[in-house]
Each structure stands twice: as structure tokens, then as C-alpha cells.
């Protein structure tokens, strides 16, 4: 959940570290710090709150001279977000400073041992044990000390270390937390995410678990856990600097909503050739597909809701039973999964701890694993048998938008490709759904353009104490994601209900002026949802309906409207969510919320 950076070069380190931390701030933003190797040893600066405070404290880094350093932006797990608990942490002898992303599970036992050894602790963090272990094991060779230290750790860590004995070097280690090396000219870097590197270099080395790196201004060396040097491939980063910047938009979230037509096109187009669907990275034959008895989709948060929506397309088109499981539940559920199960793992970041754990559990039981991931080289992408990337580009806002819709796009491609291989649909149907996929980017653009009244609607609904989202089937799955968007960025209480369930309890909550967002985009069950709208209206609700422009019955019943173009319900979820993303965005804006960095949240949830 935290972000780390490291730099060694011929120019001052602090401004580069601060710039990198700003790019990583979406990963955690409750405190931050940098450690710079100066002439008189290591100088540490820490603040609570945002990177802006650290820039202010250090005058944009000008107060801390030095050419080597490490930095950290924190999402607190062990210990409150105070300066003491902020990273970097120093060893008692002042020789080492470290930054850490991850969790050390056995830190209590290690802390007790180190206290008995005479070390004193300055913080409540799990991280601090690492720096004291380094001091304990240091006998003149930092690499040896790091290997001995990490051999004692249980949990996940990406570590950045500087040591006064080798002032020109930065050290890094990776175990179950992302870490990427940037290879520059007369300077080298490491960071939790490529977004912190693209302004400086396009050449990256993706570190694997159990690898150690040593970087100076002119050399990058990577070692395995025995200390032997290993050769690593340098990969070209395709994201450009603008992709990680706001580009004139007030918030990343709005920029990312607007980028969806292009992101969907980038995800779909390369996989459609001559009227067929190709997955270079996943070429499953019809015979292999026939052996799959069920598909299990696992993920967290919005990625889970993408799975809930995708289930409808997969089951309808390929007639394979699909179960969608929250990864945090699946991992502890002793799941009925074997080699006849295809496990689809969905994750924007590719680093979500629960999703990784659920995936490992299912792999052990023999499932074939197919990952749908946005971040290239992420842990989930590395772990999966097959990976299909969503080419959404960097998603910076904590609330996912283009991550979600590109996940749906890949699920739609899979559904149609499986259906064709299994001969579950006619040629006519295949052609029709191919057409829907081709036009998906255009329909998403239309959904953006048709809803220019949303800022006005937000002025009406932003003061509500709660919002209900209702729908059936795919509409219900989208309602779940719509309600989550509203909760996480506007802090309004928002709950999604399967419309048919209202009368089993929830309708008791409907009273005068209660806003109900009713999703009515599936003609086969429209009449049923219409009845639910009538029921809640009869009890005083104010209904904001999401539907087609020509849907007269709904238009004459509801109070306000969000629109989507007329599309087939099988692939409509990716379009339906657009007005709901915009509604959440403008409601949050009305409420003066910090839209890109909502309170208590972080983009990448690398802790359980």
C-alpha cells in the first residue's frame, strides 16, 4: 500500500525522490519521508500528510544535498500516521536507512529479540525491525547483511536501503511487493511503480521475488538469494509521461473516465482480426475448453464487480457455470476447485494481497489460472498460467474507472471466443456480438456525451444522507459498482440491492425523498424493474433512472434520468457504469471531497 523510490546519480537526489513520491502518492498518502546520503552521514526528513508537506519542509529538496537516497509515501498499517512511524527508519548506529512497502508478519518476535539484544525502537512499525537486523548482521558487507536479514523475515516486502559505508549505492530487495528498477544515463532508480520512473527513463527491469539489487549511478546489478549475480532483461516502458499526468483535467478520475473509449479500443482492437478473436497470450483449444467444468472468477472490490457482470456474459454465451468469489473469502473457504476449474483472476494493480492468496490456494488445488491485469510485470501477472492485459494505461485515481471497464472488455472477448470455440452460438449471433464489441468504444463515448446534465443532478442529490441503487441481473451487478463508486469518493452511504429483493426487507427504509437510482437497461426484465420503481415511488422515493432515451415507460415514471445508447444487454455493463461514474464524481465534487485520494483508501491493497 506504500510507495518507495530510490535514486543514485550525478544530480541532487532529493528533488528526483520527491517527484517520484508525488507519482506514487496514490499508493498511500498519510505520511512521507526521504533519507539522503550527505557528507556528514544520512539525513532524514519526515512529515505527516501529503508529499506537498515534505516539499515544503525541505524547500523542494534544496535543503538536503546529496546524490543518493531513498523515499517513502505511507499508508499506515502498524502504528498511526505520525512522523515517528513514517519511513525512512534509521539503525541505532546511524549507518543504515530503510524504506519498506509490505508487511512483516513475524515482527513482534523479532522486536522482542532485538530489544533483548539492546536495540532501541523509535516507532511502532513492523518495518523498524528490518533496519536493526541489518545493523545486527552487518559485518562489513551490506549484501550479506541484507540476505541474512531477509532470511529472518516472514511476509511481504519491497525494501530500499542506503548505508554510510557505501555512500554512492542504493540497495533494493523484493519479496511479494512490486519493485522496478529504472536504468538511466549516469543515474539509476528503483520504484514501486513505473509511473515514478517514466519522467526519467523508459528502460526498466522488473525484479522478481527473492532478488536483491545494487545500484550506483553507472551500474545496476541484480543477485539471487545466494548472492550470485543474475542477468535480467531490460524492458521498454510503453507508457508515456502524459499518461501519468492530469493533462488539463481537474482530477485523474475525470481524465480516466474520459479515457475509457480509447482504453477499451486499445484492449479490444489488437485482439480482433479478420472477424475473429485472438489471444496471443492464451491459446486454449476447443478440446481443452470442453474439459472445463466450471469457471471461478476471483477478485476484490470493483474487480470483483467486474467479475459479477462478466458472469452474465460468460454463462449466457458459453453455457459454462461461473462462480464469482471475493478473494478475501475464497482464500479461507476450502474451495471445491480442481484441475477442471478455470480460475479467472481479475486485478487492475496485479498486487492485491487477498487476490494473490486466493490464486495461490486455487493453483495448489490444480486450477488453471488466467489473469486479467493492467500492470505489466505485476505479481499476479507473473503468478498466472496465462495473462491477458487490459491496456488501460496507468490508472492513478484510487477509484477505478477505466480499469473496471477494460476488465469487462476482456471478459466479453473471452465469453465470445469461448462460445465460438464451444459452438454454443450461431454464426448470426457471433456476428452480432462481434459488432457489439467493435462499437463498444463508440457507445462508451456516447454514454459520456449523453449525460451532460449530471453536474446539475449532482447538485440535487449530493445532500442526501443515503442513496439506493437497484437493478436486476446485469443491472444489479452494475448497481453494486455504482454504489461502491459513490461510497468511496463522496462518502455518501450508498447501497445496491437486487430490485426483486426490496420487498424482502429493504423497502422498509424507503421514505419521502429517499433517492433511488434504478438501472433499467435490460429489456428482458424491464417490466419487473419498472414495478419496483412504482413500488418505491408509492412510498415517496425520488427515482433517478438509468435507461435508454426512447424508453417511454421509464421516462414517464421516474423523476430524473441518466442515459445510455440502445445496446444489447449482454455487453451493456461497460456502458451502464459510465453515467454512474460521472454521478459519483460530480456528487463528490459538490461535497468538496478529495476525489483522487479518498480518505482511508489506497490504490493498491497489498495487505490482507
Least spacing, CB of residue 501 vs ligand AGP, in Å: 23
Task: Check residue 192 for interaction with ligand AGP (CB under 6 A).
Answer: no
Shortest CA distance to 57 belongs to which of 38, 28, 36, 40? 36
Single out the segment in contact with ligand AGP by CB under 6 A; choices: 220-228, 286-294, 342-350, 588-596: 342-350
Least spacing, CB of residue 568 vs ligand AGP, in Å: 26
Single out the segment in contact with ligand AGP by CB under 6 A; choices: 37-45, 235-243, 341-349, 520-528: 341-349
For ligand AGP, the closer CB: 419 or 578: 578
Q: Pairing state of beta strands 229-230 and 294-299? A: unpaired
Task: Check residue 352 for interaction with ligand AGP (CB under 6 A).
Answer: yes
Shortest CA distance to 218 belongs to which of 67, 98, 61, 96? 67
Shortest CA distance to 547 belongs to which of 472, 437, 463? 472
Task: Check residue 344 for interaction with ligand AGP (CB under 6 A).
Answer: no
Least spacing, CB of residue 604 vs ligand AGP, in Å: 6
Residue nearest to ligand AGP (CB): 301
Spatial separation of the C-alpha atoms in residues 362 and 299, rounded to whole Å:
13
Let me know: does 78 contact 31? Beta carbons within 8 Å.
Answer: no
Spatial separation of the C-alpha atoms in residues 157 and 176, rounded to whole Å:
6
Q: Which of residues 73, 348, 473, 514 is near ligand AGP by CB under 6 A? A: 348
For ligand AGP, the closer CB: 91 or 390: 390
Contacts for 149 with CB less than 8 Å, ≥ 6 apart? 130, 133, 134, 137
Shortest CA distance to 551 belongs to which of 582, 521, 583? 521
Q: Which of residues 42, 183, 222, 398 is near ligand AGP by CB under 6 A? A: 398
For ligand AGP, the closer CB: 212 or 469: 469
Task: Check residue 413 for interaction with ligand AGP (CB under 6 A).
Answer: no
Contacts for 114 with CB less than 8 Å, ≥ 6 apart? 121, 129, 132, 133, 136
495: helix, strand or coil:
strand
Task: Check residue 405 for interaction with ligand AGP (CB under 6 A).
Answer: no
Single out the segment in contact with ligand AGP by CB under 6 A; choices: 179-187, 393-401, 440-448, 466-474: 393-401
249: helix, strand or coil:
coil
Let me know: does 418 contact 317? Beta carbons within 8 Å.
Answer: yes
Q: Which of residues 153, 158, 159, 300 is near ligand AGP by CB under 6 A? A: 300
Shortest CA distance to 137 belongs to which of 115, 166, 116, 114? 114
For ligand AGP, the closer CB: 389 or 561: 389
Question: Cis peptide leading into 89, omega within 30 of 0?
Answer: no
Cell of 584: 459519483
Annotation marks residue 603 as catalytic: yes
Q: Which of residues 399, 518, 519, 575 is near ligand AGP by CB under 6 A? A: 399
For ligand AGP, the closer CB: 258 or 510: 258
Task: Check residue 330 for interaction with ligand AGP (CB under 6 A).
Answer: no
Single out the segment in contact with ligand AGP by CB under 6 A; choices: 59-67, 278-286, 397-405, 432-440: 397-405
For ligand AGP, the closer CB: 201 or 390: 390
Cell of 595: 476525489
Annotation marks residue 460 as catalytic: no
Task: Check residue 301 for interaction with ligand AGP (CB under 6 A).
Answer: yes
Give the dihedral sign, CA 581/582/584/588.
positive
Shortest CA distance to 484 belongs to which of 376, 601, 367, 359? 601
For ligand AGP, the closer CB: 390 or 522: 390
Active site residues: 2, 603
Chain positions contacting ligand AGP, by CB under 6 A: 300-303, 347-349, 352, 355, 398-400, 488, 604-605
Amino acid at each position: 500500500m506504500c510507495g518507495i523510490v530510490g535514486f543514485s546519480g550525478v544530480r541532487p537526489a532529493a528533488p528526483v525522490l520527491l517527484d517520484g513520491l508525488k507519482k506514487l502518492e496514490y499508493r498511500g498518502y498519510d505520511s512521507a519521508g526521504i533519507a539522503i546520503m550527505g557528507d556528514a552521514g544520512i539525513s532524514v526528513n519526515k512529515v505527516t500528510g501529503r508529499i506537498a508537506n515534505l516539499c515544503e519542509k525541505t524547500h523542494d529538496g534544496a535543503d538536503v544535498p546529496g546524490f543518493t537516497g531513498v523515499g517513502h509515501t505511507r499508508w499506515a498499517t502498524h502504528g498511526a500516521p505520525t512522523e515517528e512511524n513514517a519511513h525512512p527508519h534509521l539503525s541505532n548506529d546511524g549507518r543504515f536507512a530503510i524504506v519498506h512497502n509490505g508487511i512483516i508478519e513475524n515482527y513482534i518476535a523479532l522486536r522482542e529479540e532485538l530489544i533483548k539484544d539492546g536495540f532501541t525502537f523509535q516507532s511502532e512499525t513492523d518495518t523498524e525491525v528490518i533496519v536493526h537486523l541489518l545493523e545486527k548482521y552487518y559485518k562489513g558487507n551490506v549484501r550479506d547483511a541484507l540476505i541474512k536479514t531477509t532470511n529472518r523475515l516472514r511476509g511481504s516486502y519491497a525494501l530500499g536501503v542506503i548505508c554510510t559505508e557505501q555512500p554512492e549505492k542504493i540497495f533494493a530487495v523484493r519479496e511479494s511487493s512490486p519493485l522496478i528498477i529504472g536504468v538511466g544515463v549516469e543515474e539509476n532508480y528503483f520504484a514501486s511503480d513505473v509511473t515514478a520512473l517514466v519522467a526519467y527513463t523508459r528502460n526498466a527491469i522488473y525484479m522478481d521475488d527473492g532478488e536483491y539489487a545494487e545500484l550506483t549511478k553507472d551500474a545496476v546489478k541484480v543477485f539471487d538469494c545466494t548472492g550470485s549475480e543474475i542477468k535480467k532483461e531490460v524492458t521498454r516502458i510503453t507508457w508515456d509521461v502524459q499518461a501519468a499526468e492530469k493533462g488539463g483535467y481537474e482530477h485523474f478520475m475525470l481524465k480516466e473516465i474520459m479515457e475509457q473509449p480509447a482504453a477499451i479500443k486499445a484492449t479490444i482492437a489488437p485482439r480482433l482480426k479478420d472477424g475473429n478473436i485472438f489471444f496471443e497470450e492464451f491459446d486454449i483449444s476447443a478440446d481443452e475448453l470442453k474439459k472445463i467444468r466450471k469457471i471461478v472468477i476471483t477478485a476484490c472490490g470493483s474487480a470483483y464487480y467486474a467479475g459479477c457482470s462478466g458472469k452474465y456474459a460468460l454463462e449466457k454465451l458459453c453455457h459454462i457455470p461461473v462462480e464469482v468469489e471475493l478473494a478475501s473469502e475464497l482464500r479461507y473457504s476450502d474451495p471445491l476447485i480442481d484441475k477442471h476449474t478455470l480460475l479467472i483472476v481479475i486485478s487492475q494493480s496485479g498486487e492485491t494481497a487477498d487476490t494473490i492468496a486466493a490464486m495461490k490456494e486455487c493453483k495448489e488445488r490444480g486450477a488453471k489460472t488466467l489473469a486479467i491485469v493492467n500492470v505489466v510485470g505485476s505479481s499476479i501477472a507473473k503468478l498466472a498460467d496465462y495473462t491477458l492485459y487490459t491496456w488501460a494505461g496507468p490508472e492513478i485515481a484510487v477509484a477505478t474507472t477505466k480499469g473496471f471497464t477494460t476488465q469487462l472488455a476482456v471478459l466479453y472477448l473471452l465469453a465470445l471466443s469461448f462460445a465460438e470455440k464451444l459452438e454454443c452460438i450461431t454464426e448470426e449471433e457471433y456476428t452480432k456480438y462481434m459488432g457489439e464489441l467493435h462499437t463498444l468504444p463508440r457507445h462508451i463515448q456516447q454514454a459520456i456525451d449523453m449525460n451532460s446534465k449530471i453536474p446539475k443532478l449532482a447538485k440535487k442529490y449530493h445532500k442526501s444522507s443515503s442513496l439506493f441503487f437497484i437493478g436486476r441481473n446485469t443491472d444489479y451487478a452494475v448497481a453494486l459498482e455504482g454504489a461502491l463508486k459513490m461510497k468511496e469518493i463522496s462518502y455518501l452511504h450508498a447501497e445496491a440491492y437486487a430490485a426483486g429483493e426490496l420487498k424482502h426487507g429493504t423497502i422498509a427504509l424507503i421514505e419521502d425523498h429517499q433517492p433511488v437510482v434504478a438501472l433499467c437497461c435490460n429489456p428482458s426484465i424491464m417490466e419487473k424493474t419498472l414495478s419496483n420503481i412504482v413500488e418505491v415511488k408509492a412510498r415517496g422515493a425520488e427515482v433517478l433512472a438509468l435507461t435508454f432515451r426512447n424508453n417511454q415507460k421509464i421516462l414517464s415514471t421516474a423523476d430524473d434520468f441518466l442515459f445510455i445508447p440502445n445496446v444489447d444487454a449482454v455487453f451493456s455493463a461497460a456502458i451502464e457504469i459510465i453515467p454512474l461514474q460521472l454521478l459519483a464524481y460530480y456528487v463528490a465534487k459538490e461535497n468538496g471531497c478529495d476525489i483522487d485520494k479518498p480518505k482511508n483508501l489506497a490504490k493498491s491493497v497489498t495487505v490482507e
